[in-house]
Amino acid sequence: MLPPGFTGAAIDRADHLRLDQTRIAELVVHAEARLLRLEGIDPAIDESGRLVWEPVTGDGHLFLGLDEGRPLFAPIVEAGSGAARAFALFDLLNRMDARDAAIWGVARSLNTWHHRHVFCGVCGTRTVSFRAGWGRKCPDCGAEHFPRVDPVVIMLAEHEGRVLLARQPHYPPRRYSALAGFVEPGESIEEAVAREIEEEAGIEVSRVRYVASQPWPFPGQLMIACIADAASDAIRLDTNELEDAFWASRDEVRAALAGAPDSRFGAPPPFAIANTLLTRWSEQECEED
């Protein structure tokens, strides 16, 4: 089975080199060093759907790591409004090599983080990049800030051989997906799953099981996929969050994943972990604790 999207970059992140400015400077001028080409904050790809790399010029780039000894860098760009998720980008991602998407995902997440942390959260002074792009430091109070990921639970509630799917108003036509929400302070993953399903669909669940996880670079979440047993199938929809919801059978999920023209709904894209979650459930791989 294919791993979740945005995983499998398989490069040596070489954390031990990030504070070694002399070594990073040597890697920048390495004969095989390559700089990721970006279009704004989005990936530039060639005709075969592969990332475009070019010789490294200048400095102050993000050090992505070593790919079989070859230093990889990405520019620090002004993210601006381009940091917002655009569904047009998803069409591009569907054409990309999975490993390339994972590498680009790191560059996008880091760039968005830099854009959101230009100023020190302690004293408000403008910060500067350090640790080869993996941190920002305040020149005034000395506070150091590092990239963080936000944990998000994404889950299927299951009841008598069906799972609960829903859509938000901004989804593409016919698209349905799993429920999802941020883990709140003081919550476990299991508690977050139960709370989100109850808040958005009015359904109590138990026996929460972990399925898989995925980095999601829009802008920087860790998606934690789970499945849980629903006490009933009576939906009480939170219309502030969701437009519609229904219970889908395995056959309906399989048809949607296969892209059948007569399917009841459109499945999430392959690089989204909701697709992984539905695929594993449809193949009955979510049965064990």
| Single-letter amino acid code for the residue at 171 | Y
Closest CA to 218 of 23, 13, 7, 42: 42
Do 76 and 182 belong together in one domain? no
State the average pLDDT over residues 104-118: 95
List pLDDT tens digits, range 22-69.
999 999 999 999 999 999 899 999 999 899 999 999 888 999 999 999
User: Is 6 domain-assigned?
Assistant: no
287 pLDDT higher than 80: no
User: Is 5 domain-assigned?
Assistant: no
User: Is 2 domain-assigned?
Assistant: no
Range of the domain at 39: 15-145
Integer CA distances (angstroms), 287 to 49, 197, 206, 245, in order: 36, 19, 14, 23
- Residue 251 belongs to domain with CATH number: 3.90.79.10
Of 87, 118, 145, the residue that ends a domain is: 145
Q: How many domains does the chain contain in total?
A: 2
pLDDT at 2: 77
pTM listed for this prediction:
0.93
